[in-house]
Structure 1
Amino acid sequence: MHIGLASLPLDHGSSDILDTVHAVVRQASNLGVGVLCFSSRSITTPQDPTPLLHDAARLAHDCSLALLLPVLDTASGQESVAVIDASGTILAVYQPGVSHCYPAFELAGRCFGLVVGDTLWTRGDCLRPLVRHGAQLIFHAHATVLDGDGIPPRTWCDPDASFHEKALICRSAEAKIPIASVGPAHPCQAAATCVVAPDGSCLCHQPYSQPGLLTHHWESPASDFACLSSSSMP
């Protein structure tokens, strides 16, 4: 199946945000993407995000693809990540820092894990619960950009750059699971939007600082065991 990673600029809360989401989702659908994940803190709204999430659910149904859609409520500062299947059903809305577990969900006949924000960089054990509960691939949505002291990468795993891409390699190897990581398009982004394999290789990545849609054909058999949802996890 094809997975998609949509890297947008930070705080893309302009009046045409719905048009942007629609355009990216329809582009992904035309390319045969089955599951599409957006970058964190890129889609913002000054009001209750519920109408935007329901609009995205209708779009997922119309385009027959699943969505992992982070939406930042700028009034409260809380980001919510909606997990929407291809039928347009909102399976869950995960709130980093509020929800007490890392979610695993079945989408398109596969089991995926979801990690949001800096957790993947700072907690070495963050993927273990997801693997134990059936995850076959981890989606990682983040908004990490470097401050004035950091050096952004210019090539994959740049030895002079920050540790973030090396951390992706380590986490994937430790958990023996591929990671599809999507961050904002930014001149000082900490890591490329990319797909990393457990053997340490980068399977593909989006050009640095460029917004856009990255797709990857992920070969994995359908899971032959139940994927435990986040509500079932400790």
Structure 2
Amino acid sequence: MSSIRIALANIEIPADPQDSVERALVAVREAASAGAHIVCFPEAYVPGYPWPTRKRQAVDASFLQQAHERVARAAAENGIGVLLGTERYVSEKPRLCVLVIQPDGAVAGFQDKVQLDPYEDPLYEPGNERRVFEIAGLRFGIAICHEGFRYPETVRWAARRGAQLVFHPHYAEAEAGEFQPSQFADPRNSFHEKTFLCRAAENSCYFAAVNCASAGSPTTSAVVKPDGTLLVFQPYGQAGFLMCDIDPALATGLLAGRYRGDESYSPFSSAA
């Protein structure tokens, strides 16, 4: 395999949970039509991230199950792998997670968000393990929002287990008075986009971050090469797919493999 095409669904924020499902179904079809092998959605795209300034309808396990089944059918009908930012219930409290679906519609599993943002503590329970997945010959891990921004070990963990790319579904909207960038990793902006470059370079793997499209967004979707240089980014606030071809052979995992720190402090299991 010389290259694989990935699509980051840098699409509009859904109006409500039902709208999120319909938009996701359209996006799966469109990404497949554009030749993508895998499409990745932002954090909690279905049913929608509960941003503090947004009101969101509550959803139950039944709604999520039906939504996941519909997206899985769309993946099979279009022959594309899907990483759906979503939620699931393991107990009475939901978890933020990414549902991984194979191109034949089979569910490969979930990556739960292990490291929650403090704001999320009252809303969600954390997961307790990390996984790596494979679609179309590409081995990858997933670090969800806060995890990838503030916990480098979430990306290193995957790279040390053979991940050639780590997807970073996240969610960020503009807040009043903050800097609104037009160029990737602008020095006047927050630290967040700079971490994309670091996570790739310090682990010799690709790093693919995906956010929703919204006016004045402080972060956009971007793909960084294993040497820490930017491959491509989506214009800020512009809805659409960020598409690119990557060469997995360039992701050697060299620097991640040279890490000699103690991983025993981490809450992550070694499940793969």
Both structures adopt the same fold (TM-score exceeding 0.5) = yes
Q: 1:77 deviation in Å?
A: 5.7
- 1:21-62, Cα deviation, whole Å (9 max, x unpaired): 221111111111111100113321723201110111111111
Q: 1:220 deviation in Å?
A: 2.2
Residue 126 of structure 1 corresponds to which residue in structure 2?
Answer: 154
Residue 85 of structure 2 corresponds to which residue in structure 1?
Answer: 70
CA contact (8 A) 2:132 2:139 kept: yes
Structure having the larger proportion of residues in strand: 1
Given candidates 29, 35, 38, the residue that maps to 2:38 is: 35
> Is the deviation greater in 182-191 or in 122-131?
182-191
**How far apart, in 1, do the equivalents of 2:173 and 2:202 lie?**
24
CA contact (8 A) 1:28 1:213 kept: yes
Residue 52 of structure 1 corresponds to which residue in structure 2?
Answer: 67
Q: 1:8 and 1:72, CA in 2 relative to 1: closer, same or farther beyond 3 A? A: farther
> Is the deviation greater in 110-119 or in 180-189?
180-189
Residue 118 of structure 2 corresponds to which residue in structure 1?
Answer: none
Name structure 2 gaps, 5 residues minimum: 48-57, 115-125, 252-267
Residue 103 of structure 1 corresponds to which residue in structure 2?
Answer: 131
CA contact (8 A) 1:7 1:184 kept: yes
> Is the deviation greater in 111-120 or in 180-189?
180-189
Question: Which 4+ runs in 1 deviate beyond 4 A?
Answer: none
Local SS of the residue matching 2:37: strand
- 1:53-86, Cα deviation, whole Å (9 max, x unpaired): 011111111111110001247x956433211011
CA contact (8 A) 1:178 1:196 kept: yes
Percent identity (aligned): 28
Local SS of the residue matching 1:127: helix
Read off the aligned partner of 2:36 and give its amino acid letter.
V
Q: 2:27 aligned with 1:24, yes or no?
A: yes
Alignment: residue pair count: 228
> Is the deviation greater in 145-154 or in 133-142?
145-154
Q: 1:6 deviation in Å?
A: 0.3
Q: 1:174 and 1:154, CA in 2 relative to 1: closer, same or farther beyond 3 A? A: same
Superposed, 1:148-167 pairs within 5 Å as 148=176, 150-167=178-195
Local SS of the residue matching 2:76: helix
**How far apart, in 1, do the equivalents of 2:186 and 2:24 lie?**
31
Q: 1:99 deviation in Å?
A: 2.1
Q: 1:113 and 1:28, CA in 2 relative to 1: closer, same or farther beyond 3 A? A: same
Local SS of the residue matching 1:33: coil
Residue 96 of structure 2 corresponds to which residue in structure 1?
Answer: 79
CA contact (8 A) 1:109 1:222 kept: no
Residue 233 of structure 1 corresponds to which residue in structure 2?
Answer: 271
Q: 1:16 deviation in Å?
A: 3.5
Q: 2:206 aligned with 1:201, yes or no?
A: no
Given candidates 6, 10, 22, the residue that maps to 2:9 is: 6
**How far apart, in 2, do the equivalents of 1:70 and 1:81 lie?**
5
Q: 1:161 deviation in Å?
A: 1.1
Q: 1:173 deviation in Å?
A: 0.8
CA contact (8 A) 1:12 1:42 kept: no
Local SS of the residue matching 1:126: helix
* TM-align CA RMSD: 2.6
**How far apart, in 1, do the equivalents of 2:236 and 2:250 lie?**
33
- TM-score normalized by structure 1? 0.87
Q: 1:216 deviation in Å?
A: 0.6
